[in-house]
Structure 1
């Protein structure tokens, strides 16, 4: 189900629509879901929001939207609490749960109701349905939609007010490959227009393809707030892969230099503690031929697992005690 390339969107009137969290905390009895969270999500980027189950991501998104009140601290969008805006969809669009739609309504009727309550022109309903690829089923009841179609409708609702800030929770669920590719492009387009795009998902492979920056939390606390490249480099640690016909000689030289060397089943050796440039210089200095020399940066998933290893609430395979 292809989406129309025609968006009908303009650029935001400001290029600095920030989400700002300051000492944000939410407690449920003795449980602290979010603890003293301070961060700024800036415009012009696709910012990924990651964390293990129970990390506090959903609670944080709900507090941004005024659906859950913080126990302490503040959260504002463009300097104002979302709940203080009478026509919120003009300022912030969000998809939190694609299933949270009245199934007896048609897609068009659902968006029209949202448009009327937020003072949004009716023309935006038609334009948004075309954009997400649902124009052909606009009057079909949402209860008969597949999960992927519901996801598209949820995205349409988030875009309806042409907002400068958009939040998406698990936006890839139920989408086919074409839909996933379209969503990636949509996020890039929105950020390129100067909007603030904040995306939460457990699908690391998709996040790796579409985000510029990452915010990671664990047990309600901030663990990382940095670019994707910085996160992969600092959280997982880079290694150097070397292929040489004189493995023993090179291993001895690298070990003497302080490197840690591990032989791999494919005939290469993995080196940690030394850069690729230093490995190459040592090999050249001792006339050891090198057939392959590659720096390997960990995947987003590997870096994420390393960073959050002590923050996982429920670990599979553990024996109950």
Structure 2
């Protein structure tokens, strides 16, 4: 229970704008849970409410059964990276972490340990103002790890990281979850969530769209299609269309929706049409996300304002 995030009918309004509306979901340990939504969906607001940086207008949010702001020495309970740029640029990396460690009664040796873990040991005494965005992200991750907490929250942690850094973060999140921690990651990079997350919480316009496994979400949004390669595409297309299928042609390959592969093979055999390939395709996480959040995009591309 100490590692469970519970959001219950959470609402946050800023003046006349509702950023989060009656939002409820649970994040459990042992998984990497991705937090997805279009721009303006309310993800950052939700994370700020989780950490007590903003007060809810209604509802509640707890971590381990208590509001986070009620916990002394918070870094021992929850580690978070919300904004890698929100650090005093004139301070040295090691001094920044020493100050946080002292305030949370964390041994100084832990500072050196997390700097090594994130690959910043050689830059520990450099001023943060001279760090690249990727280095600031690593420092933010070090800050989140500092108290060795059971719950970790990350908002767009991959921004500015090179490919090696992305692979490192992917492995880090999986390792932390395998240790039984709760790992909650907000990201707009669908490919990374597809490679990293086990569970998803998806919101749009501040409301819940889905809270389920990644595979269930992708399947719910998927429109199965079948790729058919044939030298007689026109005739096969006519046959399949007559059976109620939707057919798109690209050279000698047809993309067919509305009929399963066995039925397509049966019809091709009946009409003596040669098939060179018959492959069932499912949609990616990105395709499912775009389909299921289409009505929640605040400013669709090409929309005049």
> TM-score w.r.t. structure 2 length?
0.94
Question: Do structure 1's residue 273 and structure 2's residue 220 form an aligned pair?
Answer: no
Structure 2 CA distance for aligned equivalents of residues 139 and 57 of structure 1: 34
SS at match of 1:103: coil
Equivalent position of 1:158 in the other structure:
144
Check if 1:190 corresponds to 2:180. Answer: no
Q: Matched residue pairs, number? A: 305
Is 1:223 aligned to 2:209, yes or no? yes
Deviations 1:40-62 (A, max 9, x none): 11111111111111111110000
The structural deviation recorded for 1:174 is: 0.9
Give 1:298's aligned residue. 283
Report the Cα offset of residue 197 of structure 1. 0.9
Counterpart of 1:254 in structure 2 is 240
Which string of whole-angstrom CA distances, capped at 9 and with x for unpartnered residues, describes residues 42-100 of structure 1?
Answer: 11111111111111111000001111111111111111111111011111110000011
Deviation at 1:316, TM superposition (A): 3.3
**Does 1:107 find its partner at 2:58?**
no
Note if 1:168 corresponds to 2:150: no
Unmatched tracts of structure 2, length 5 or more: none
Residue 294 (structure 2) pairs with residue 313 (structure 1): no
CA–CA distance in structure 2, aligned partners of residues 45 and 100 of structure 1: 28
Which residue pairs with 1:5 in the alignment?
none
Do the aligned partners of 1:169 and 1:201 also contact (CA within 8 Å) in 2?
yes
Q: Which whole-Å CA distance do the structure 2 matches of 1:214 and 1:23 have between them?
A: 18
Provide, for residues 273-301 of structure 1, a one-character-per-residue CA deviation record: whole Å limited to 9, x for no partner.
Answer: 22234333444555543211112222222
* TM-score for the superposition, normalised by structure 1: 0.90
Q: Is contact 1:95-1:157 (8 Å) kept? A: yes
SS in 1 for 2:290: helix
Aligned partner of 1:242 in structure 2 is: 228
Whether the aligned pair in 2 keeps the contact of 1:261 and 1:270 (CA below 8 Å) is: yes
Give the secondary-structure state (helix, strand or coil) at the position aligned to 1:310. helix
Answer whether contact 2:3 2:151 (CA < 8 A) is retained.
Answer: yes
Structure 1 gap segments, 5+ residues each: 1-13
Secondary structure class of the residue paired with 2:295 = coil
1:203 is aligned to 189
- Separation in structure 1 between the aligned mates of residue 38 and residue 51 of structure 2, nearest angstrom: 21
* 8 Å Cα contact 1:236/1:307 also seen in 2: no
Of 80, 105, 111, 1:94 maps to 80
**Residues 202, 211 of structure 2: 8 Å contact kept:** yes
TM-superposed deviation, 1:258: 3.2
Q: What's 1:23 paired with?
A: 9
CA RMSD of aligned residues (A): 1.8
Q: Output the CA distance in 1 between the equivalents of 2:71 and 2:24.
A: 22
In the alignment, what sits opposite 1:180?
A: 166
Counterparts of 1:281 and 1:157, CA distance in 2: 60
User: How many Å separate the matches in 1 of 2:3 and 2:43?
Assistant: 21
